[in-house]
Amino acid sequence: MAEGALQTSNNSKHSKLGNSHSTPSFPMSHGPGKIGVLTIHSHMVFLVLDHTQPNPLFRAPIGPSPKKILDIGTGQGSWAIDVADYFPNATVHGVDIFPPPALWMPPNCVFEVDDVLREWTWRESFDFIHMRLMYGAFTDEGWEQVYKQAYDALEPGGWIEQMELDVRVYSDDGSLKPEHMLHGWGNIFVGCSERAGRSLRTHEKMRSAIEKAGFVDVHEENYKIPLGPWPKDKQLKEAGHLQYAHWNAALEGWAMWLLTHYGAPEPWTKEEVQVYLAKVRTELKDPHIHAYEPATRVWARKPTEEEANANRTTIKLEPSP
Ligand SMILES: C[S@@+](CC[C@H](N)C(=O)[O-])C[C@H]1O[C@@H](n2cnc3c(N)ncnc32)[C@H](O)[C@@H]1O
């Protein structure tokens, strides 16, 4: 089988990288190296969580024969590769500001290095646009722009889907107590992200932003991702194992940059971050703490032409004030 392709601005008229609007670094959502590679753990966590679904990769009812699919911020490219395997007759585009480290990809999978905050210049429309773990990637205005561009780039009746994590950690049985470092962990990072101007509360904001962009038929599903292998349920235990491995490996990458740049009341020193992380690591290993991270999936549809026309007619028929 021939290999898929890695292109710089494949369908774009020109490369849009490296100019003044390029996205600055933000560790939750970027990473050509370690953090990008680590998203494979998250990919597996989501597959395990949705193992009872006919298709654990997405929920949007896109039908059996989509032609063009786009994965924004594809990272490692795991989702795009799996979807390309699932729909061999579709072309799946994975776009990211960093080239994916994937060594092999199916022939119908195209990776493109590009910045989605730029004007999109793909010539054909998509049937489905997907995003996952893009929390903190854009400012609120950036998100508005991305949803608008996604709306414009979809076929009428096409679907958008987004899956995001809440970085805050909870327990339902009171085993995570206010004195635990993990209890305040998420709020510390949310605070850093707000000061950096790129909120990590993407999971809370995305539904209304998607609606505001004009999408209809909006659906939402909420998940609890165990942090560690504490659940009794076999699948959740596996998800917890994977999520623990992800945290353990990614922790320092997330925390060091954010806390030394945007920590409060003033940026933390490296040593302060290391002491903090040592305590967090100890709690992560504690089987008595039944912690989990919430995640939210939203999927919605661009109106069909009939719906858009009906909407236009209704607006016209409204009496003037
Ligand atoms: C946390 S990773 C998620 C990767 C993948 N979606 C997944 O679920 O495994 C977020 C990705 O968004 C990419 N990204 C951030 N800003 C971007 C932009 N302006 N244009 C394209 N990709 C961007 C980052 O480079 C990073 O690979």
The fold adopted by the segment(s) 5-300 is Rossmann fold (3.40.50)
Tell me the pLDDT band of 320, cut-offs 50, 70 and 90: low
Q: How far is the CA of 100 from the centre of ligand 1 (A)?
A: 10
The Cβ of residue 25 has, within 10 Å, a number of other Cβ atoms equal to: 10
Tell me the pLDDT band of 317, cut-offs 50, 70 and 90: low
Atom 2 of ligand 1 has which residue's CA nearest to it? 29
Q: What is the pLDDT of residue 173?
A: 97
Question: What is the average pLDDT across 42-64?
Answer: 91
Short-list 6, 17, 2, 20, CA closest to 74 = 6
What are the strands of the beta sheet with 216-226, ordered from one edge? Answer: 5-8, 109-113, 91-96, 68-72, 126-132, 154-165, 292-301, 216-226
Atom 14 of ligand 1 has which residue's CA nearest to it? 73
> Which position has the token pair 């999109």?
120
37 pLDDT higher than 60? no
228 pLDDT higher than 50? yes
DSSP lists the bridge partners of residue 293 as: 225
Atom 13 of ligand 1 has which residue's CA nearest to it? 73
Q: How far is the CA of 95 from the centre of ligand 1 (A)?
A: 8
Q: State the Cα–Cα distance between residues 213 and 302, nearest whole angstrom.
A: 9
122-131, 133-142, 145-154, 302-311, range with the lowest pLDDT: 302-311
Q: State the Cα–Cα distance between residues 203 and 167, nearest whole angstrom.
A: 9
Pocket test for ligand 1, best of 95, 97, 119, 122 (most atoms within 8 A of CB): 97
Q: What is the pLDDT of residue 316?
A: 66
Q: How far is the CA of 166 from the centre of ligand 1 (A)?
A: 16
Atom 19 of ligand 1 has which residue's CA nearest to it? 115
Give residue ranges with CB within 6 A of ligand 1: 23, 29-30, 36, 39, 42-43, 73-76, 78-79, 95-98, 115-117, 132-134, 137
Question: What is the average pLDDT across 126-140?
Answer: 96
Across the chain, what does the average pLDDT equal? 88
DSSP lists the bridge partners of residue 161 as: 130, 299
Question: pTM for the whole thing?
Answer: 0.89
Q: How far is the CA of 61 from the centre of ligand 1 (A)?
A: 24
Q: How far is the CA of 72 from the centre of ligand 1 (A)?
A: 7
Q: How far is the CA of 39 from the centre of ligand 1 (A)?
A: 10
Q: How far is the CA of 30 from the centre of ligand 1 (A)?
A: 6
DSSP secondary structure code for residue 68 in this structure: E
Q: What is the DSSP string of 221-280?
A: EEEEEESSS--SSHHHHHHHHHHHHHHHHHHHHHHHHHHHHH-SSSPPPHHHHHHHHHHH
What φ, ψ does residue 29 adopt, rounded to 5°?
A: -130, 10
Q: Which residue has the higher pLDDT, 35 or 125?
A: 125
The Cβ of residue 262 has, within 10 Å, a number of other Cβ atoms equal to: 19
